[in-house]
Each structure stands twice: as structure tokens, then as C-alpha cells.
Structure 1
Amino acid sequence: MVTAYKHEPLTDFTVEENKRAFMGALKKVNRQLGKEYPLLINGQRITSGEVIASYNPARKTELIGTVSAANKELAEQAMQAALSAFSFWKNWSPEARAHVLLKAAAIIRRRKHEFSAYLVKEAGKPWKEADADTAEAIDFLEYYARQMLCLEGGAPVNSREGENNQYGYIPLGVGVVISPFNFPLAIMAGTTVAAIVTGNTVLLKPSNNTPVVAAKFVEVMEEAGLPKGVLNFIPGSGAEIGDYLVDHPKTRFVSFTGSREVGCRIYERAAKVHPGQIWLKRVIAEMGGKDTVVVDEDANLDLAAASIVYSGFGFSGQKCSAGSRAVVHEKIYEQVLERAVKLTKSLTVGSPEEAETYMGPVIDQAAYNKIMSYIEIGKEEGRLVAGGEGNPERGFFIQPTIIADVKEKARIMQEEIFGPVIAFCKAGSVDQLLEIANNTDYGLTGAFISKNRDHIERAKREFHVGNLYINRTCTGAIVGYQPFGGFQMSGTDSKAGGPDYLLLHMQAQTVSETY
């Protein structure tokens, strides 16, 4: 019997006890800064001699820690360890593999504020964003453990007289997991354990912006009883070991979350069959979005403004689900814009270590430069009505920015900025609202704000995104509740946190026995 899944609750930081506990976790993590973290290959901790230094994006001279960087030789060593471990890990029962995940979830739950504090320090996440990230990581562990038990018996098929047919699922092999900086615990953990619980072994290459959080997670998986070689921790250069492992003939699948540019590169490279390769590699990719909050003419104006602002500026807009476009009916355009600007100007930007901070920094100098350049483009394409300024002296801070009166084909309406910038565009009818909503290369999330039931039903049919939200923000998918993944250039629509996600890490086998 599979126990019911219930998602991890978020922490209420208005409760003084919770606030004190989180401040204590921040103090604890601050005392641990500057540590060195080795690679983990076949259960052995290896120092490579080359390091990736991780700095606090809110205080850019503060070293969070250093992580050993793998080269091609060490990546090959990790591949051989994973291949060896696969020979026994694939034969572990689903119950035993699921038990490791549930134990890891329990460990992280006990240390929830500590992990969230690392997210504050290394990723620049404000308290609530960090807490949600950690809760989602726990959710992935709990949900995928239970999903594996549901899949254990395979699926029913028909049998005839004198014949028994079985349809089951078996693991693929060695997977390369390449995880992003923006959900450095949740997405990294979710993509990793989905591969592990289904019987595969993993080479984990986390984002070079947030490798310490990943190192801490790998320690938890060890503590939970994961055998050596099943999870190998190999941070390093994407151009060096990333390409090497994607091309490797023994790589069976690649699970990637990141930019469209890198995702397309991986997809193309993985399609090539190399000498010694006896399969077509599977690619699971989530590659970003250009997501729209659509506001119909009879929408609740305050709800519309809040949905736009909180969709666009949560974690400084550094979410693939971020609502970076507001398409508003012309009859209420100015009213919604006015409310959104007022709300935006009320947001607190500053150190994510302060409980009152709504928005912290962007992740690094390259992100800061890119976003500021798009703001300059936006000033040419529309009217700056909020924000528009940045300050990189102490950390990579950018004010939440709204550009109004933007044409539907403008660059800031079409290109993913991945920062705190929202473009406002006007439409004259529900037909035009939906037409503009669908006019990008992406199809990840969208929100439709309306009181009109006919228009809502049209949006359900015509708004072409993987995750459509009615009368709420277009961010904040919960594992097991809103399976997450998008269409078109947003990726392979591999619905993370959904009932069929684990199947992407397995292959179906039919066994037919005649009596």
C-alpha cells in the first residue's frame, strides 16, 4: 500500500519562533563559510587541484566555499564508477531505493532552515523563496519515492488462454544530470533522485554558481544509505566535461535544466551516435520561457496587478516560469499598470539575509550585465515607469523594472531576459490577448486573469503553454499538484513532479510466456 503524498508546508515567518530559528540557521551557516568540498566518485572524496569558487551574489567578496572541479579524466573515472554501480543498483527493489529517498527527505526536513540558509547565502534567495526551494526538494524526494512504488508492478496488459503477458519498467543506465542555479536544491535534487529511484546511476554536474548546496545534498544522500558509485558528484566546466559526458557512448540519458542555447546544444550533440554506442540517448530538457500574464477586460484589477508583479519579480525574475510579459486589455490597461507600478515600488530590495527583503540580487556579473542591457533596449522600445536602475558595488542588485507601452514583437517581449523586467503590452480584444500570449517561441507557463467563464474556457483551449494558471500567478507549481514542464522551445514537456515523469527515466519491457 502506497502512503498518500502531502506536500511540505511552507514556513510562516510571521511567527516569531520560526523567525528566530531561521536567524539561528543563518548564523550557523555563516560560521561554515569558506570550506572546501571535494568531488565524490565511487564513494571516494577526490581533490582535483582545480577549484570552483562560489561567492555570495549579495556580497560578492564573501566566499561561500570552494568545490573541486572535475576534468575529462575524472569525468571518465566517474563514468566507469557509475557503470559498475548500475550493475547492482538496477537490481535493488523499488522499495529499497524509495526508502533511501524517504530517509533523505527526513534528513533535509530536520535541517530545513540550514539548507534554506545556504540558499540565501549562495543563490541570493530571500527567506520565503529559499524556504519554498527547500520544501520543493523535500516534496520531490517524497513524491518520487511513492511514484516508484506505484510503478513497481508495471501496467496491466491482456493475456490469452495458455499465455501470460507482463508489461514492466526497467532502468536505462547511466544518466548525466546538469542542474541550474535558480533552484539549486529543488531542481538539482528532483532531477537527480528521479534518475536514482528508477534504478539508474548518476553523474551530477551542478551549476558553477551554486555548487556548495549540491555538495551538501550529496552528503545527505550518502547519509541516507545510497551505495557508492550510484551518485557521483563532478562539478566542472560545461565546455569540457559537459560536452564530454553528453557525447560519451556510455551515457544513456541526459537530464538538463537551463538556457535554450545550452539545451539545444545538448539535444543536438546527444543525437549523434558515437562508436561503441548501442542506443539512442534520451534527453530530458527544460529550457526556459517567455511567460505571459494575460488580463481580460473584466478582471479583478488588484488581483491582476498582484499576479503580474509577483509572477515577474519573485527571486528577481530568475525563474523559467517568471511572468515577464503583461498583456492587458486596453479598457483597463492604465488602471492595471498604475496598480502594478505602485505595488512594484513598495517591494523591498536588499540583502536576502534580512527577513523583510522581498527581492535580493541577481546571480552574477554576467547576469547583471545582460539584464541591464535589456533594460536599455526596453527604454528604446517602451516607456520606463518603474525601476530601471542597478547597483553592482556590493552585490548584483537591480531594481524591479516595468517597461510600458511595448509592441508585441519588441525584443523585450520576445527574448528571455531572466531578470526583474516586465514588459506591458496592450490588446483590444480577447482574440488579440490570446494571439499575443501565443506569439513567442516558448510555451512554459501563463496566467489568465478574468471573470468571464467563456473567455476562461477559451484560454484553456487556446493558450498554448504547459502550465496554465487561471486567476493567480504563473509561478509556484507544487510537486504532485501542478506537474511542471513546457512546450516548444521551453523543452521536452517532461512534467517534473507529475505521474509520468519517472517513466522518462525507464524503458518498458514486455514479457510473454506461453504455457
Structure 2
Amino acid sequence: MNETRTLPASPDVDPRDDDAVDLAPLIAAHGPVPELRAATQARAEALVRAIREEGHPSIMEKFLGEYGLSSEEGVALMCLAEALLRVPDAATIDDLIEDKIAGSRWDAHLGQSESSLVNASTWGLYLTGAVLREERSGSLADTLRGAVRRLGEPVIRTAVTRAIREMGRQFVLGTTIEGAMSRARGFAARGYTFSYDMLGEAAMTDADALRYHASYAHAIAAIAAEAGGDIRDAPGISVKLSALHPRYETRQRETVMATLVPRLASLVHQAKEAGIGLNIDAEEDSRLDLSLDVIENVVADEALAGWDGFGVVIQAYNRRAAQVIDRVHAMAERHDRRIMVRLVKGAYWDTEIKHAQVTGLDRFPVWVTKPATDASYLCCARKLLGCDDRIYPQFATHNAHTVAAVQEYAEAAGVTSFEFQRLHGMGEALYDHVLKGNAHRCRVYAPVGHHRDLLAYLVRRLLENGANSSFVNQIFDASMSPAEIAADPFAAVEAGLVRPARIQLASELFAPARRNSRGWDLDDPETVDLLAEEVARRAGGDWHAGEGEGTETAVLNPATGERVGTAIFATADAARAAVAATRPWDAPVEERAAALERAADLYEANAAEIFARCTREAGKTLLDGVAELREAVDFLRYYAAEARRLDAAGETVAGRGVFACISPWNFPLAIFTGQIAAALAAGNGVVAKPAETTPLTAALGVALMHEAGVPADVLRLVPGTGAEVGAALAADPGVAGLAFTGSTATAKRIEVARAEAAPGAPLIAETGGLNAMVVDSTALPEQAVRDIVASAFQSAGQRCSAARILYVQDEVADDLMAMLFGAMEALVIGDPVDPAVDVGPVIDETALAKIAAHVEAARASGRLLRQVDPPDLPGTFAGPAAIAVSGIEDLEEEIFGPVLHIARYRAEDLDRVVDAINAKGYGLTFGMHSRITDRIEQVVARISVGNVYVNRNQIGAIVGSQPFGGHGLSGTGPKAGGPRYLPRFTAAPQVGLPAETAAEAHPEADPQRLAGALAALAVPALDPAGLADLPGPTGESNRYGTVGRGPVLCLGPGAARAEEQAAAARAAGAAALAAAPGSPEIDGHVAPEALTALPALAAVVYEGDDPAPYARALAARQGPIVPLLTGADFARWCVREVAVSVDTTAAGGNADLLAG
């Protein structure tokens, strides 16, 4: 089967020319001759004219013809349709309607866009019918607001809900199979037959899968009553394989084959007995190989001999479509079957483009232009017509040119056994005309299901058919001629119109500054098998880290307890000697940057070795190992590019001296590399201490950086314990700056040591968080649960960004938690050397004991909602757990493992929930699932965290796209992978003002007045509108900006300098206060010991010659690290950074991509 996976690429051709390159052999083999093309064009134009003269567009065709989806408002419409009918509470329904129709964002675009949807006030009339009758000259927002004033929100709510239900009814034949069949009889009288599709999302739990299976079985039994005779004339059913198994994915192949094949086989046998056809719907490309395996296993059953009702769907937009036809034809020959093949354009185009970009794949699995897809469809149609000995072709299209082409091709080939298919609610005028001659069968693909199930389906159809370039949008557009509408796609291919300039390759997402990291396709069976073999071949045992004198320590695999290597743990003296022997890297900026880029290339070239060490030393799954390597590579290239950028801008890119980099075990390569890369790019020397549990991966990273050209006396690896080596580095005056990632408690100990050793030197600390996610009643449960599971349990919950508490709106909490618990049960826990494993071990026995104690305490108090049983293996495995809490107030500390706390909240309490999260003092990540844009923006402005994630998971920040880091108890900033990180490693000019004279020479500042003045400062709030876009994949919005810190205390020395400092801090956006003898703000000397007792401080600025007393006083404070800013660049650090990442496809798809 894997032969279908091969996608040959010419090394001499730009990958963006793939459409032209890959189409050439397809067109050569199956493209029509010029005479056929000419006949098709003439026939298509005649068909368009006939439809215009005789046909009447359906309600939805009128709607889509008038209102495009190329605008922000079009997306709002989709979101309203997608979310409204599942929202249970009236208040949220009202908020959703106001957000999508009457909000200020809509007003801002009225009359400004080319989209008719934006400019037409008739949309409100169309949507809400007689309830919202107004003069057409009024604006939509005024129309709705006026109606609300007159009629009240309940009437508007009812009207909009009814209108959205009516939209759904245009696409969905019935809410039950019986109702759909009853409604279908009217169409059957006109010559149509039907294929019924039972609506629903992919199964998230095994209970979902069993429910969908029962629904299919019930439908087949009902349809059987109308079967009989030729199976081609009988109604049929379409089945989605992802509905029959909750883990329908490549890496779960073994369990899929064991469970899904018999489930599908039972339905197939039932369909055979009923005398109806059963089609397997096509899904994402990532499932194609697995689908073919499942299909072959079922088709091979000898009990199906003589039955011609088994069908598959092939998507012409997939580059492998022609190969799949060959595979299905060979399958039919091998098992002596005749298989139905429904050829469709394809329904997941935007998803496939985003997936390729996100995963770093430089070849898209689909054609990236409409002409290429259309040409592929026609070539595949000719190919199918030539396979009619074993295949019954079914052509699903709403395009007159395609219909005409199939008719011409079939007549030329002498083939009469085929049928056309259309979607219910679409293409009626076209096929009513086709059926007039009774020359061809026509089947209607008819969705069946409750309104709550139609939402994703409805939006997908809107995306497919609502783009301005679609035939449905054009057929009744009088401004377009029949020749334009029925244009020959082969002519566009010949004209070179198959190169999409605006769709970036994955490697180009951050161009021209740098190349993106390469990805590995973990949905490709061959890739997964190869990587698994490479990891298995590298069992470790002889890996080593460290040199010189010290204690040889065994490094253990947390999944097995086996030794994977050894490390020489240095002594404190050895650590100090390493600092003394390390020199700053004073090479030119370009030389440094080039070396880091060579290191990135070497990292990628040694991927298998890196994956093996991440798996065996850190317990990482293959998925996490790939992400780890990619992040490390991105850090190397990003900081190289940043050094060049700063240098070109005239900024100083010179190091401070020797930096100590102390990294954690949970990202033994990525964070380790990121700290070092920034320090090296800035021109520092580096002494790097990896976590004591993961020195072997770090040793490989250092070896590759040395090989790339980083001098050995510039970068030194010093493995050891935190208590000895970490403490020695923190206390060493020769360390000019220290970067640390780890626990908040350890960061505070380092702060105390640095205050004595190097007061005012940079301490860049990234610590943990009590990270929350909020899910309101507009969220799609399946999507939310998928993201909750990833956020809380991926990497065994051992990410500082992981979700620790989930707030669920009360009205949907029971259903969502039931789905979540089922999804937890579907997780595979075990040794990550197996690619099927989702959750590996926690790092060691100490971590496991802490997690176990926390879970047991919850169990004892009756708050344990669910825990998945860990495997009976020798490693340190913790079963994912969910614990009930009343709110974040119940959490005393971060539990670093697969433990999620769950609280319910009422919609009206959302602000209080956000305030409670802020009150804990952490500020790392926050996630939100909602369809209400205004609500999201309000929460983004109110929440005090570094990284906000909307309608997606809250882990896996991408370098340069989602700069990562927090504030408060979560760290000092600046954000890793962001524009402010590298400058913190560079030498800052020192003013070196003299220290004040003895304290007794100046009156001391009144402590109460000082505390009151600080408390009175208004801490700046984030304005989301002020955030700037960062590059990233399509289907995502990644925005970044800063907000001033507050309060910032400016101490001069001297009144004049204190006032200058406060003015500079305020100019940066901070809330600042000057305090010095003679200052008009606070007159008096602020003694260092006074800082210990002051209320909340964000930073202290002091540029005197002796900052040590102030540094010691700040280090003695409880709570967050308060930086002492001593350099002339202090204003740069008087802000905190915020990054907001939004999945813009959450409502069902990316209209921006499809509109082009």
C-alpha cells in the first residue's frame, strides 16, 4: 500500500511549481485531446445558457451567490451558523448574536469591502425575516439594534435561531433517517436516488464510536425497506471511518485494525443483505493510507462475493488521487469485486495546507490552485471511465463544465454505466436539466441528523461553495458570460496559472530572515516506521556527558529504569574553573550567526540520534521528540537572524562576558539550546549546566555546536547537580548573567545568590505556572476536548505551559466532562519507544511520588473525577487524572504531571474567574475556547499572562511566531523566541552615577506615603488592538506586543536622575514613581531594607555605583522576582510582553484561503 505514498519531487524545480510539474504526467496520460476539450467547452456553455433560461437557484444558491465569504463578516456568519444551535443558555445566545451581527467590528467594515456581505443591509432582512423588517437603506447594525429596542432580545433570539435552522434545513434532508427518506420521495419522483450521510463529528470516545455505529446500523435497516433491484438504482449510505474509532490515526494502526475493521465489516454485511450500497467517505490525507488498509481488509472478505455495493470516495484535489484509483482497481481485481468510486473535488483543502505548514512539510498533499484541482478531477474522471470493468464511477460535482466533460468523455469511450452526484441543496438547476434526457443516473448526497450535528458540516459546505471563484457562486451571476463560467481548466494550466504566489511553503514561513525547521510526517507510515527503527537501533548504554574530575553517575531511562549512559557530575570547584576558563565570543556577528546556522543544519542531520536520546533519556514520545528538535533548530536560526537584524540596525551586539545557562529536563535540547544560542549570538561565552536527569541529550547538542564552529573555550558543558554546580554558578562573580528555566523556588534561591555575587546583572528566569483554560458554552465540545487533552496530558503534563485547571461553563460541563473522560481513556500510556504511545513516563521517582500523593489526597476527599490506570511497567508512569475543585483558589502549587483540575463557572462570573486566576500571581499561559469574539477580546485584555491561546491547545509555542514566557511567579521575561530576548544578553551601557551619600544626610522617605503612592499607580492594561501580527502558518492569527509594567520604582540616585528614569519608564508605557531626596513625587532617601516590605513591585531602577544592598533587599522579598535594573537601557525592560495565538479555522475552515 505504501507505494501510494511516494510523491516524487524534482530537485531542480521550486516546490511551488509542484502543481505544474506533477500535473504534466497526469495530463499526458489522461488529459483529453484538443477535440474533446473543444466539444466539452461548447457543451458546457450551452448547459450554462440552458440553466439560466430554465433553472431556478435554490435558496442557498441564492444566498451564496449574493454573499461571498471573502470577508471578516463572512467568517462571522459561518461562526454564527456553526455555534448558535448548540448553545444552551439564553444569555450566551444573545451575546453570540450581538457579537456576530450587531457588533462594532461589523460597523467598521460596512461599505468598506468588496464583499457584498459587508455592504448589504439586506443580510439582516434575509436572516431574520419579518421580525427585522426595516428600510433597505438602513445599516444592518441599526436594523438589529432597532429591532432589539422594539421587540426585545427573546424575539431576536428566536428569529435568528429559526433563520439559522432554516439555513441548515437547506442542506440537511431530515433530522432522522425516516424523516429524510420521507422528504426524499418527492425528489425520487423527479428521477433522483439518494446516498444518506449520518451527520456527526469524528468520535472522541469509544462510546461515541459505538453510538455512531448504532446510528449507521439503524439507518441501513431503514433504507433497506426501499431497496431492491439494481443496486445502482437503490438508495445507499455513506460512512465516515473516523466516526467508528476514537483514535483513527496512523500511529494507532494496530488498535484501529483490530477494532475498526470488524465494526465496519458488520455494517458492510448488513448493507449487502439489505441490497444497498455503502460508501466510505474520504477524510484528511493523513488518514488515506490507513483508510486503504481498512478498506482492503473488509473487501477481501469472501462473504461479499457477488455484491457490487461497496464504494469508496476519492478526492481529486489530492496529488495521489490517480494512484489511489490504481490501488482501488487492483484491489477489485485481486478480490474479484466491482467497487463504486465517488470522485469529489475534496473537502479539507484549508486543513491540508495548514497541516503541511504547521508540521514543516514542504510539499502540500493537495493541489494548491483551483485550475490544478479541476484538471486533476477531469483526468481522474477519464481514468475511472477506463476502469469500468471493475469500477462503477460516481461523479460528484456542481460544475457545468465538469458535467459536460464527463458526458463527452463517456460518449467517446462508449461507457454508459456511471452516475452523477450532487449535494442536497446544491446543483438542483444543473441536474434537473441533466435528468431531462434520462440519459444518466443522478444521486443526491443527503446529510441526516439533528441540528446540533450539522454545524461543522454546514460550515464545510459554505466554505466549499461560498468562495467567490466557485461555480455555484457564478452560475446565476449575469455579469459573467457562459464562456467565463465554463472555462477550460487545462487552458489555465497551459497558461501557467497554477503557481500560487501567496501560499507559503513551510520552509518560507519566516523568510527572508531565516529558514523554518524541517518537519517529519508522522502520519506517513513509512516515516513512522523508519524513525521507530532508528530509535530502537540506538538503545544507548554507552552515551556519555562530561569530562575531567567528578562523580560518574548513571543516567536512567524513566520508562524502563535501564541505564542509557553515564555523566561526570562536576564539583563546585570544577564549575568555577569552567567559568574562569571560558572567554566571550568576540568574533564578528556574521561569523557567530553562520556557526549557529551550521549547528541547526547539523541538528537536523542528526535527527535520529536526537530522537533516540529524547526518548530514552527524557521519556519523550516520537511526536514530542520531533517538536523538541524543531524548536531547538528554530532557536538557533532565529537568534542568528536576530543578531544580524540588530547589527544592521546599528545596535550593539556584544556580550557581557560569560553567561551561565541552567536548563530543565523537560526540554533537554530545545530550552538548553535556546538559552545557549541567544547568549552566543550576543557574543558571550557560555557555561551550560543541563538538568541532572538529562545530560546526554545536552552533550550531543554541545558536540554539534562545537562541530559547527563554536569554539570549545567559548562553550563549555558542565553537568552536575543543582545543589552543587547550579549553586556554584549562581554564586560566581565571574558570571555576567544567568539564564534559568525551572521551578519558582529554585529561581528565588538563584536570585539571592546573584544579589550577592553580581547585583544588577541579568537574571533571565522562566518558571512554572498555574495555567488555566476556560471553555464557554459556544465552544465545539469535540474541538475543546481535543485541545484540553493535549494541553493537560501531552508530554505527561510535564510542560511549564500545560493546562493545570479547566473552567467549564456550568450549562455544558456534564457533557463536556463525559467526553473528556472518554478521551482520557483512549490515551495510550507506555514506553515512548513505541510510536503509538501518547503519554510516556514522568521523569523520575520523586516526581511520581509527588503526583501520586496529590491524586491520592483528592481520592480520599472524594474529588477525584477520573484517573486512567497506568501500565504495569517498571518505569515511572502516572495515569492521567482529573480532579474537581471549586476554583484556582484551591490550588496551592503546580503539580508537574498529567493532572488536570476542573471547576465549573457561571457565564456571569467570567470576570471573577479571570480575576481569581490573576490573583494567584502566576502569569504564563491561558487558553480559551469560545466563538464570541468580543468576549475573547475582553478576556485577553483582562488576563495577566504572557501567552494566550484561543480555540487551540496552549502548548507548543513556535519560535518567532508565539514568543514564550511569563511574568510574576512565572518568570522575569523577556520572552524566549521573541525580539526582546537577545538584547538582554548584550552589553548595556552603564551610566555609573555615584552612590548617594550616607543615608543620615538625607531624610528617609515616609514608608507609608511611599507605599500609598505605589499602590495608587494605575497598572497599565493591555489593549489587544495594539498587538502586531507575527508570521506563522495559514489558519492562525499570531499577535504580539508589550504592556507597561507597574509599579516601577525609580531611585536615581538623585532627584534629577530619578525623575528622568520615571519619565523614560512612563514613555515605555510603565506606571512609574520617582523617589529620591528632593524629588517632587516622593521626597526622601529610600533605604534598601525598605524595599523588602513594600507592596507589589514590578521593577526597581537604580544606577548608582553600589547596587548590592538594593539587590539583596529585593531578593529577600517573598513572591515574584523583582528585577533591579541598573543599565542605561533600563526602560527596555519596564514592559512585559504578551503573545496571543488564535486558531482562525475553529469555526470550520479558513475562508481567506478558499476565497482566492
432-441 or 249-258: bigger deviation: 432-441
Q: Is the 8 A contact 1:442 1:488 kept in 2?
A: yes
User: Which residue among 589, 603, 608 is the counterpart of 1:108?
Assistant: 603
Q: In 1, distance between residues paired with 2:737 and 2:543?
A: 32
Distance 1:481 1:382, change over 3 A: farther
Going from structure 1 to structure 2, the CA distance change for 1:381 and 1:431 (only over 3 Å counts) comes to farther
2:544 pairs with 36, 40, 63, which one? 36
Q: 1:23: which partner in 2?
A: 532
Identity %: 35
CA contact 1:52–1:68 (8 Å) conserved in 2 = yes
Deviations 1:334-375 (A, max 9, x none): 121111111111100011011110001000000000000111
- Conserved in 2, the CA contact under 8 Å of 1:153 and 1:168? no
How big is the shift at 1:491? 0.3
Q: Is the 8 A contact 1:328 1:433 kept in 2?
A: no
Q: In 1, Cα distance between the equivalents of 2:981 and 2:878?
A: 36
Moved more, 2-11 or 246-255: 2-11
Distance 1:510 1:81 in 2: 25
Distance in 1 (CA, whole Å) between partners of 2:512 and 2:537 is 35
Q: Deviations over 1:21-47 (max 9, x none)?
A: 2123213321x42333333xxxxxx2x
Q: Could you tell me which residue of structure 2 aligns to residue 334 of structure 1?
A: 814
Q: 2:623 aligns with which of 112, 128, 148?
A: 128
Q: Kindly indicate which of the two structures has a greater share of residues assigned to helix.
A: 2
Structure-1 residue corresponding to 2:713: 229
Matching residue of 1:470: 950
Alignment of 1:154-303 (within 5 A): 154-155=649-650, 168-272=652-756, 274=757, 280-303=760-783
Change in Cα spacing, 1:54 to 1:491, as seen in structure 2 (3 Å) is same
2:554 alignment counterpart: 53
Q: In the TM superposition, what are the counterparts of 1:483-502 in structure 2 within 5 Å?
A: 483-502=963-982
Alignment partner, residue 848 of structure 2 = 368
Matched, 1:423 2:901: yes
- String of CA shifts for 1:174-205, please: whole Å, max 9, x gaps: 11110000010100011111101110001111
Alignment check: 8 A CA contact 2:829 2:871 kept: no
Cα distance, 1:390 vs structure 2: 4.8
Between 1 and 2, higher relative CO (CA 8 Å, sep ≥ 6) is seen in 1
Quote the offset at 1:154 in angstroms: 4.3
- In structure 1, the partner of 2:565 is 65
Cα separation, 2, equivalents of 1:459 and 1:468:
10
CA distance in 2: counterparts of 1:169 and 1:27, whole angstroms: 43
Alignment partners' CA distance in 2, 1:115 and 1:65: 14
**Any idea what SS the aligned residue of 1:121 has?**
helix
Please state whether the residue corresponding to 1:271 is helix, strand or coil: helix
Report the residue type matching 1:132 in the other structure. Answer: A
Does the CA contact (< 8 Å) of 2:570 and 2:719 recur in 1?
A: yes
Are residue 143 (structure 1) and residue 638 (structure 2) matched?
Answer: yes
Matches within 5 A, 1:367-406: 367-380=847-860, 383-387=863-867, 389-390=869-870, 394-404=874-884, 406=885
**Equivalent position amino acid for 1:75 in 2:** A
Alignment of 1:407 with 2:908, yes or no, is: no
- CA deviations on 1:276-333 (whole Å, 9 max, x unpaired) are x6x6321000011111111122222222222211100010000000001101111111
- 1:422-463 Cα deviation digits (max 9, x unpaired): 010011122233234334231100101101112111111011
Change (3 A) 1:9 1:380: farther
Query: What residue ranges of structure 2 are gaps of 5+ in the alignment?
Result: 1-510, 992-1156
Larger radius of gyration: 2
Q: Report the number of matched residues.
A: 479
Name the CA distance, whole Å, in 1 between partners of 2:864 and 2:672.
36
Cα distance change, pair 36–305 in 1 and its aligned pair in 2 (3 A):
closer
Question: 1:236 deviation in Å?
Answer: 1.1
Tell me the distance in 2 between the aligned counterparts of 1:398 and 1:361. 7
The 5-angstrom pairing of residues 71-90 of structure 1 reads 71-82=571-582, 85-86=583-584, 89-90=585-586
Q: CA deviation at 1:51?
A: 1.5
The match for 1:163 is none
Distance 1:510 1:490, change over 3 A: closer
User: What SS is found at the alignment partner of 2:970?
Assistant: coil
What is the root-mean-square deviation in Å for CA atoms of aligned residues?
Answer: 1.9
Residue 10 in structure 1 maps to residue 519 in structure 2:
yes
**TM-score, scaled to structure 1:** 0.89
Describe the superposition over 1:368-412 as per-residue Cα deviations: whole angstroms up to 9, x where unpaired.
Answer: 0000011122224553232165568500011111113x111554x
Once residues 450 and 132 of structure 1 are traced to their aligned partners in structure 2, the CA distance between those partners, rounded to angstroms, is: 27
Give the corresponding residue for 1:158. none
Partners of 2:911 and 2:962 in 1: CA distance = 27
Native 8 Å contact 1:52 1:236 kept in 2? no
3-state SS of 2:792 partner: helix
Q: Distance in 2 between matches of 1:267 and 1:169?
A: 26
1:443 corresponds, among 923, 930, 937, to 923
Distance in 1, Cα, partners of 2:871 & 2:750: 34
DSSP 3-state at the match of 1:107? helix
Q: Report the secondary structure of 2:976's partner residue.
A: coil
How far 1:509 sits from its partner (Å)? 4.2
Q: 1:385–1:9: structure 2 CA closer, same or farther, 3 Å change rule? A: farther
Given that residues 169 and 509 in structure 1 are in contact (C-alpha distance below 8 angstroms), is that contact kept between their aligned partners in structure 2? no
Alignment of 1:345-356 (within 5 A): 345-356=825-836
Determine helix, strand or coil for the equivalent of 1:171: coil
Q: Deviations over 1:458-485 (max 9, x none)?
A: 1110111100011111111000100000
Task: Give 2:613's aligned amino acid.
Answer: Y
In the alignment, the residues of structure 1 paired with residue 676 and residue 926 of structure 2 have an alpha-carbon distance, to the nearest angstrom, of 27
For residue 152 of structure 1, what is the aligned residue in structure 2? Answer: 647
Once the two structures are superposed, residues 188-234 of structure 1 have per-residue CA deviations (whole angstroms, 9 ceiling, x without a partner) of: 01111110111000111100110000111111011111112101111
Q: Cα offset for 1:264?
A: 1.1
Bigger mean CA deviation after superposition, 462-471 or 499-508: 499-508
* 2:648 match: secondary structure: coil
**Which of the residues 782, 803, 809 maps onto 1:323?**
803
- Contact persistence 2:550–2:571 (CA under 8 A): no
CA distance in structure 2 between the aligned counterparts of 1:382 and 1:485, rounded to whole angstroms: 35
Please give the alpha-carbon distance, in whole angstroms, between the structure 2 residues aligned to 1:506 and 1:382: 53
